């Protein structure tokens, strides 16, 4: 089963995602980018659902960039989930290496379907 890390400071959003994803992925959670980075370095998940605006020393954009700049981590699939819905925000997310971009409010089932397809097609290619 593929490993997926859910990173959001909002426990309710993590719970909604967990309910949508728990049957298809081995899940772990982090409340901020610093906590997430520590887990990523140890566990190297296959994918990350990453909020952009969080407290701590890094936001989701900065963590995304750090992951994609690291040769050992750059292949991790990143889906940004954020209230930042401007075109410039979306463009920045993709420029930093995000594979998908969802604006809140979002459908957890849409994210689940997308991640199942994306991570399964990676496995088969």
Would the pLDDT of 87 be above 80?
yes
H or E stretch at 20? helix 11-21
| Predicted local distance difference test score (pLDDT) of residue 50 | 97
| Predicted local distance difference test score (pLDDT) of residue 84 | 86
Q: Where would I find the beta strands (DSSP E) of the chain? A: 3-7, 26-30, 47-51, 77-82, 100-103
Q: What is the mean pLDDT of the chain?
A: 94
Would the pLDDT of 124 be above 50?
no
| Predicted local distance difference test score (pLDDT) of residue 125 | 45
CATH 1.10.4080.10 fits 1-56+76-82, yes or no: no
70's tokens: 């690291």
Domain residue spans of the chain: 1-56+76-82
pLDDT tens for 32-81 read 999 999 999 999 999 999 999 999 999 999 999 999 999 999 999 999 99
């Amino acid at each position: 089963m593929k490993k997926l890390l859910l990173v959001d400071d909002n426990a309710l959003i993590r719970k909604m995602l967990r309910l949508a994803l728990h049957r298809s992925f081995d899940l772990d959670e982090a409340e901020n980018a610093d906590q997430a980075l520590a887990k990523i370095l140890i566990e190297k998940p296959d994918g990350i659902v990453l909020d952009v605006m969080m407290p701590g020393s890094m936001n989701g954009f900065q963590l995304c960039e750090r992951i994609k700049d690291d040769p050992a981590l750059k292949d991790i699939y990143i889906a940004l989930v954020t209230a930042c819905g401007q075109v410039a925000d979306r463009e920045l997310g993709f420029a930093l290496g995000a594979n998908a971009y969802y604006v809140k409010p979002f459908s957890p089932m849409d994210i689940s379907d997308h991640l199942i397809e994306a991570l399964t097609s990676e496995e088969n290619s």
